[in-house]
Structure 1
Amino acid sequence: MMKVPKGKTVLVKGVASIKGECEVLGARLNFFECEKFVPVFCIEDCEIEINGEFRILDGSTIPESWKKLAKMDWETVFLYGGVDSGKSTLAAYLANKVGGAYVLDLDIGQADIANPGAMGYGFAKDVVSLSKVSMINGFFVGSITPQGREAKCLQGVARLWKELRRLDGRKIVDTTGWVKGRGAKEYKLAKLEIIEPDLIASFEGKPFDWKTFEVEKGYVIRRDKIDRAKARFESYQKFLRGARILELERDRINLKPDLFRGKDVTQFIESVLGV
């Protein structure tokens, strides 16, 4: 058991048991387990037992802009930022601070709610990471990057948003870190046209002619390609745990090829954007 003074933040990766008043990404928790580093801010002197890695920092790791955003009046907020900017952490923080919210995870490369290569949404409340959110529904893309799969990704965005927009409650849209270049901007703009959020929370200034609230990056522990690949592997393990291998006789199965059965890409995008 470790004593931590008031006003300190402990970054914990593993299992933590806490005695005393603290805030974990905006939630009041006294126990959690997480495979990522999670900030525990001590509101008063605390005793913390940790089974895993930890770091102690002065003050809070939550930027003031995040706190202001949580108090603003929005129904749907769209998070925009590059790789390792803190979008998923901000999404979890906002969901906790507003008393629970639906989170639409569109980051197919580092998906938290769905498996990598897919999009998904769920309801987040008192969570230390979006990976703890149970998926309500998802859409399989089959790629860990939207580049070259833009039409398929937009199809998934449109389908999931059609469901999600009907549900009561605040909604947070988490997106990929692909923001550089014309293709990235056009792809993000297409998603904005589909979702029509009240507000963009941007780590990258004001990228579009849309109501935007600029936010700062929080304390980020950057991950290299090996770390990201490991995270995807662990996510696949979680989703495939308990799966079965089925052997079927080929001559007893009717296969229906889908080549040339889809919609024309141009027509599909125009229908999504309403042009």
Structure 2
Amino acid sequence: MIKGPATVTVDGACDVLGSDVSGKTITVRAGKALPFEPRGRCRLRARLGRGGSMWLADPAKAGVSLWRGITQELTDLVGNKKTTVMLVGETDTGKSTLSVYLANVMLNRGLVPCIVDGDIGQGDLAPPTSIGAAVLPRQVTDLRDVDASLFEFVGSTSPAGFDRFVAKKLRSILDRVGPLGDTCIVNTDGYASDGGIQYKLMIASELQPDAIVCIGDNPELLGAFQGGPWQVLHATPSGQASKSRYERASRRLDQFLRYVGSGSHAVELSRIKFVYMDRLFSPSEILRPPIVQLEPENLKRMFVGLGSAGQIVGFGIITGITPHSIFVQTDVGSFDRIYLGNIRLSRDRAVEVRIA
């Protein structure tokens, strides 16, 4: 196992999550742990960054041997029909890692996998507050190496109070990406206790997946899906997936900034509609804001989605607002809607500020 930040050069035959990395140099991002599994003679040369580490792991607790049986069942399920697989489990059980491995195995078998990342707090295919989806044309070791093609904007990093809205947006993005591949793998967040189980049942009811994979030792979560119209599978959690609070916060901030870009655009307010949880607001309502998200002090430095023709085309940070114009840091050149959320970034863009 190698935990980032690290750069690993592979001399010999080796796999990472079902992807052949023989003779390649692999970047392991900070906070991410990947299983390098040699085939025969192989030498790994790792340059570790601050906080990076490497160790020999027990195959019973790490690597793809944990999930070969599950993956075989799921690929057999696909066959010649469109299939949706939903992954659920608590935080740090390996949902994202399993989704990558499953997608890589399907690619090996000539299938085209799509991944929907529904973790609005710690997703890999979209910035926090959002849902991302992508068709995988090639094998990968980290979903953050994939350029997502479809987005939905939620506006919160927590499903609390947004549960039905998240389920609705997951259905929308699944309808859009589903026809592009043979199977859709839907990854969900780690909210899996107390009300989290009802939330996951709500999502399953909305998506109607063919199979639900419950990762980890949560009998209540596993039992909640029994008896539904889907196949239920239980997967062993990865014992190597845990992240510290600092690593989690750093990865989330990196995702925010990755999608903002360095460009700056000024747009006339008269050309913009504001959207919050699918409700439209006109620029004139900033003068007497009906919601706190439209208050000028809250708009400044708010992380937002940017839309055109009814679709999310990118993201940005509102840097300023006047009676006639709004200024957004973004690389998106043209947009006519700004999707508002509950998260602002501090002036130095180093800290999240939640809007009450």
TM-score range, shorter chain: 0.7 to 0.9
> Is the CA contact 1:22–1:28 (under 8 Å) kept in the aligned structure 2?
yes
Q: 1:256 to 1:27 in 2, by over 3 A?
A: closer
CA distance in 1, matches of 2:278, 2:44: 58
After superposition, the C-alpha distances for 1:215-271 in whole angstroms (9 at most, x for unaligned) are 1011324223222111111112211233x2223455xx25556689849xxxxxxxx
Cα distance, 1:77 vs structure 2: 1.4
Counterpart position of 2:265: 246
Cα distance, 1:171 vs structure 2: 1.6
CA distance in 2, matches of 1:144, 1:134: 21
Counterpart position of 1:216: 236
Q: 1:175 aligns with which of 171, 188, 206?
A: 188
Could you tell me which runs of 5 or more consecutive residues in structure 1 were left unpaired when the two chains were aligned: 1-9, 264-275
> Is the CA contact 2:134–2:177 (under 8 Å) kept in the aligned structure 1?
no
CA distance in 1, matches of 2:18, 2:145: 15
Counterpart position of 2:140: 127
Letter in 2 for 1:175: T
Say yes or no: does 1:155 pair with 2:168: yes
**TM-score (norm: length of structure 2):** 0.65
Cα distance, 1:31 vs structure 2: 2.5
Cα distance, 1:119 vs structure 2: 0.3
> Is the CA contact 1:108–1:118 (under 8 Å) kept in the aligned structure 2?
yes
> Is the CA contact 1:63–1:217 (under 8 Å) kept in the aligned structure 2?
no
> Is the CA contact 1:63–1:216 (under 8 Å) kept in the aligned structure 2?
no
Counterpart position of 2:2: 11
Richer in strand (by share)? 2
Counterpart position of 2:93: 85
Cα distance, 1:64 vs structure 2: 4.0
Counterpart position of 2:20: 28
Letter in 1 for 2:55: I
Counterpart position of 1:267: none
Corresponding residue SS for 2:264: coil
Letter in 1 for 2:98: L
Q: 2:130 aligns with which of 112, 118, 123?
A: 118
4+ residue runs of structure 1 moved beyond 4 angstroms?
254-263
Letter in 1 for 2:202: A
Q: 1:12 to 1:168 in 2, by over 3 A?
A: same
Q: 1:240 to 1:84 in 2, by over 3 A?
A: same
After superposition, the C-alpha distances for 1:32-86 in whole angstroms (9 at most, x for unaligned) are 2120221101121212222223312155322645101111123321111001111
Aligned length: 250
1:178-217 paired onto structure 2 within 5 Å: 178-181=191-194, 183-203=195-215, 204-205=218-219, 206=222, 207-209=224-226, 210=228, 211-217=231-237
Letter in 2 for 1:66: W
> Is the CA contact 1:105–1:175 (under 8 Å) kept in the aligned structure 2?
yes
Counterpart position of 2:348: none
Say yes or no: does 1:106 pair with 2:118: yes
CA distance in 2, matches of 1:256, 1:21: 54
Choose between structure 1 and 2 for higher RCO, CA contacts under 8 A separated by at least 6 residues: 1
> Is the CA contact 1:12–1:50 (under 8 Å) kept in the aligned structure 2?
no
Cα distance, 1:142 vs structure 2: 1.2
CA distance in 2, matches of 1:43, 1:237: 38
> Is the CA contact 2:135–2:180 (under 8 Å) kept in the aligned structure 1?
no
**TM-score (norm: length of structure 1):** 0.83
CA distance in 2, matches of 1:115, 1:260: 17
CA distance in 2, matches of 1:126, 1:254: 42
> Is the CA contact 1:104–1:120 (under 8 Å) kept in the aligned structure 2?
yes
Counterpart position of 1:143: 156
Corresponding residue SS for 1:45: strand
Q: Percent of pairs identical after alignment?
A: 24
